[in-house]
Amino acid sequence: MDNQLSLCAQIKTADPIRYTPAGLPVLTLWLSHESWQNELGERYLAKMEMEAKLMGEAALSWQHRQGCMVRVSGFLAQKGRRYPRPVLHIQQIYEI
């Protein structure tokens, strides 16, 4: 079932790398987005900050890239059972 977000954003902050029990590196990024969008023919200034998660080798290469503008895509899932806020699970990330 469809669950795909494509977003251009700035890496506002990056948490320190942590590791899963299986030893996989995990990087939490906080993305900041601002763009003009179209809503019923009117311009709408969409602003948003979103938590994002990057796993594996990519986590290591993106850990020190605060301030960088990126295009990311991936799926959304709630942070945890008691934390309904959606987190973006990054599947692709490019600098722009």
Binding site for a copy of itself (CB under 8 A): 1-8, 24, 33-35, 37-40, 44, 46-50, 55-56, 71, 75-78, 84-86, 89, 91
| CB closer to a copy of itself, 7 vs 17 | 7
Smallest distance, a copy of itself to C-beta of residue 51, A: 10
| CB closer to a copy of itself, 16 vs 39 | 39
Buried/exposed 36-60: b ≥16 CB within 10 Å, e otherwise: eeeeeeeeeeeeeebebbbeeeebe
Smallest distance, a copy of itself to C-beta of residue 39, A: 6
Radius of gyration of the chain (CA): 14
Smallest distance, a copy of itself to C-beta of residue 81, A: 9
Contact status, residue 90 vs residue 53, Cβ threshold 8 Å: yes
SS3 category, 61: helix
